[in-house]
């Protein structure tokens, strides 16, 4: 019997089930993917940008593009979430070589976290020094408004509390230590630069700084959960980013994380409001231009040796 055709539901199920028999990628598999990418494009990016839900338009800013569908890249997972195009785009942004993921992978799709974070280590092997991670998030801080951008100061990793960590399993000596610190996960200079650029662009009232919490998803949070997270000091909540941050920090990449507040978290039992994916995607579309300008100028200010100006 012939195997299921790529892209079919049965094929996706088989591909995800295959993950259950493994505990991680080997260094050789990361290297195979990195070598394939380097052989198929002349771009040598120093900055990688990961686009969250509804934010894929960022990838279209790149000039002199060379794009690959995830399904064509050796070992690469596939994105199955609406609002994630599933393309890896190489190009230049304000004259700086970049690579952009139009769509990421999530724990709730059925992928183990070592597969969710696969691209980050590949980026390290192709020469990336800085990763800019964006996401769509629910605003818990009552001062936040839909359309605000939160520069991530720190995070709370709820799946990690349950033992789900992308660094679990065999240790790959080539990438980093067994017990990496996370107290400096979000680069201080990059955070300062993002806040300064936001003010320079006239967006001072829309750019914030705060704590992001990652939950497993895919359901949106209950009112009680939102109240609990708010009491813990969480400013925005979502279902991504933190596993990528952990792996990026582990292998020596500088990280800047930014959350687009796409909806206000419901914390009142008398409220008629509910969160929805359509709302998230629409908010992403409405605020894309602001985020595009912010990231374009940010990238221009990041030097290849990881200095910022």
Query: Is 306's pLDDT higher than 70?
Result: no
State the pLDDT at residue 6.
Answer: 52
Mean pLDDT of 167-180: 92
DSSP state, residue 229: H
Q: Identify the helix (H) or strand (E) that includes residue 188.
A: helix 188-200
Mean pLDDT of 293-300: 93
What is d(CA 51, CA 83) in angstroms, rounded to the nearest whole number? 10
> Which range (4-8, 123-127, 143-147, 234-238) has the least confidence?
4-8
> Which range (10-19, 138-147, 237-246) has the least confidence?
10-19
State the pLDDT at residue 289.
Answer: 81
pLDDT in tens, 208-230: 999 999 999 999 999 999 999 99
Q: What is the mean pLDDT of the chain?
A: 89
State the pLDDT at residue 261.
Answer: 92
Query: Is 284's pLDDT higher than 50?
Result: yes
Residues 6+ apart with CB under 8 A from 307: none
State the pLDDT at residue 274.
Answer: 75
155: helix, strand or coil: strand
State the pLDDT at residue 52.
Answer: 84
Residues 6+ apart with CB under 8 A from 304: 46, 129
Residue 44, both tokens: 């040598």
Query: Is 8's pLDDT higher than 80?
Result: no
State the pLDDT at residue 18.
Answer: 53
Task: Find out whether 54 and 282 touch, Cβ atoms under 8 Å.
Answer: yes
What is d(CA 276, CA 293) in angstroms, rounded to the nearest whole number? 26
Query: Is 105's pLDDT higher than 90?
Result: yes
Peptide bond into 193 cis (omega under 30): no
Instruction: Calculate the alpha carbon distances from 1 to 4, 5, 13 in Å.
Output: 9, 12, 17
State the pLDDT at residue 22.
Answer: 77
State the pLDDT at residue 251.
Answer: 96
Among 31-40, 168-177, 290-299, the range of highest mean pLDDT:
31-40
Q: Phi first, then psi: what are they for 87, rounded to 5°?
A: -135, 145
- Every domain of the chain and the residues it spans: 42-301
What angle do the packed helices 242-250 and 118-125 form, to 10 degrees?
A: 30
Query: Is 13's pLDDT higher than 80?
Result: no
Strands 207-214 and 149-157: parallel
* CATH class name, domain 42-301: alpha beta
Mean pLDDT of 6-13: 50
Q: How far is CA 110 from the centre of its chain?
A: 17
What is d(CA 274, CA 213) in angstroms, rounded to the nearest whole number? 19
Confidence of residue 135 (pLDDT cuts 50, 70, 90): very high
State the pLDDT at residue 11.
Answer: 47
Q: Report the C-alpha dihedral over residues 37, 41, 43, 47, rounded to 10 degrees.
A: -30
pLDDT in tens, 65-104: 999 999 999 999 987 776 667 999 999 999 999 999 998 9
């Amino acid at each position: 019997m012939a195997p299921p055709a790529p892209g079919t539901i049965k094929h996706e199920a088989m591909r995800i089930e295959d993950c259950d028999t493994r505990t991680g990628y080997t260094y050789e598999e990361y290297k195979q993917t990195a070598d394939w990418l380097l052989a198929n494009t002349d771009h040598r990016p120093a900055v990688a940008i990961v686009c969250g839900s509804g934010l894929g338009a960022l990838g279209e800013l790149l000039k002199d593009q060379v794009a690959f569908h995830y399904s064509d890249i050796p070992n690469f997972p596939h994105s199955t979430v609406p609002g994630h195009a599933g393309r890896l785009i190489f190009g230049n942004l304000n004259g700086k070589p970049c690579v952009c993921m139009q769509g990421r992978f999530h724990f709730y799709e059925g992928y183990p976290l070592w597969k969710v974070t696969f691209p980050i280590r590949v980026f390290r092997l192709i020469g990336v020094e800085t990763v800019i991670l964006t996401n769509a998030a629910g605003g818990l801080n009552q001062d936040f408004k839909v359309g605000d951008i939160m520069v991530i100061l720190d995070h709370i990793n709820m799946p990690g509390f349950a033992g789900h960590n992308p660094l679990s399993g065999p240790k790959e000596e080539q990438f980093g230590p067994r017990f990496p610190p996370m107290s400096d996960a979000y680069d201080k200079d990059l955070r300062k630069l993002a806040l300064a650029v936001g003010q320079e662009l006239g967006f001072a009232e829309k750019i914030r700084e705060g704590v992001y919490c990652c939950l497993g998803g895919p359901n949106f949070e209950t009112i009680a959960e939102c109240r609990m997270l708010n009491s813990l000091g969480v400013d925005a909540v979502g279902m991504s980013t933190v596993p990528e941050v952990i792996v990026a920090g582990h292998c020596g990449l500088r990280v800047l994380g930014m959350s687009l507040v796409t909806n206000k978290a419901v914390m009142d039992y008398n409220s008629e409001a509910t969160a929805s994916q359509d709302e998230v995607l629409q908010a992403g579309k409405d605020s894309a231009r602001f985020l595009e300008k912010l990231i374009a100028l940010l990238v221009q200010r990041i030097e290849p040796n990881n200095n910022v100006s």
